[in-house]
Amino acid sequence: MLGQDVVRAARNVNHEPIPLAHDELDIRDREAVERAVIENNPGAVINCAAWTDVDGAESHFDEAIEANGTGAGIVAAAAASLHVPVVHPSSDYVFDGSNQDGYVESDETGPLSAGLLVAGRVGAGIGAELGAMKVTEQVDALEAVAVDSFKFLAVTRILACIIAMPLLTTVMDFAGMLGGYVAEASISGMSAQLYFHRAFSLVEFSDFVPSTLKTAVFGFIIGTVASYLGLTTSRGTEGVGRASTSSVVLASVCIILVNVVLVKLIFFVFPEQA
């Protein structure tokens, strides 16, 4: 448990912690907390108490708020009355303590989600459109008038995907932050200025660049796979449907596999991102 680990770590560096378990002190009891702080007169207060049943927090919302919100406030107020610093470490059931940076939308969830969404929408559209042009001999007509069908139909779509993916990922990142603000404001009433100040204080510009630029590779995959399957369509309208479905499936699988390689490459080139 987190509290036991904190006590052990304090003793390892020759401190003399005074641990108080839940059955000895309920942080929701204001008088008990104030009395404990006055009697022990600590040099610092470390509050490791937390509601650890994440799944049960929805059905026991009030109890969770009392433990993680009201109780933490009582501890902070009692410590402040004696000018004692207070620390609220993250609970070990959520974080293992190895990551020193906060979670941001530019982490792997944002770029990968954007890639999969575009693969499902745009990949299917490109595959179906080019497949229809192939089975109706429009591609053959272009080649008959000396137009390079690959450059005219495929390259333009691939370049469009490469350019659009980083832009869409950036929009998704900021949309995620905005959604987080709406959720936080509705629960705690936090101001927009405070929320965005804290959000951007945790990240730097370098946190966004590698993960956002790698989506250009996702765009290349989506455009290439969908264009190839569309231009190689056969067997009439049945082939068009197959090309559309195959474009989504194959592009999504390729994005997931390539993402694993790109993540390792980013951590190798930018070790501070690990």
Q: What is the pLDDT of residues 218-248, one digit of tens each?
A: 999 999 999 999 988 887 888 888 888 999 9
pLDDT value for 104: 46
How large a percentage of the chain has pLDDT more than 90?
Answer: 19
Mean pLDDT throughout 34-55? Answer: 79
Q: pTM of the entire structure?
A: 0.59
pLDDT value for 53: 65
Task: Give the C-alpha separation, 133 to 230, whole Å.
Answer: 8
pLDDT at 172 > cutoff 90: no
More confident residue, 258 or 10: 258
Confidence of residue 92 (pLDDT cuts 50, 70, 90): very low
Mean pLDDT throughout 160-183? Answer: 88
Mean pLDDT value across the chain? 81
Q: Where are the domains of the chain?
A: 2-87, 109-273
Q: What is the pLDDT of residues 50-66, one digit of tens each?
A: 766 665 666 677 777 77
pLDDT at 88 > cutoff 80: no
Q: Among 77-91, 110-124, 136-150, where is mean pLDDT lowest?
A: 77-91
Instruction: Identify the sign of the CA torsion 265, 266, 272, 274.
Output: negative
pLDDT at 157 > cutoff 90: yes
Which fold would CATH assign to domain 2-87? Rossmann fold (3.40.50)
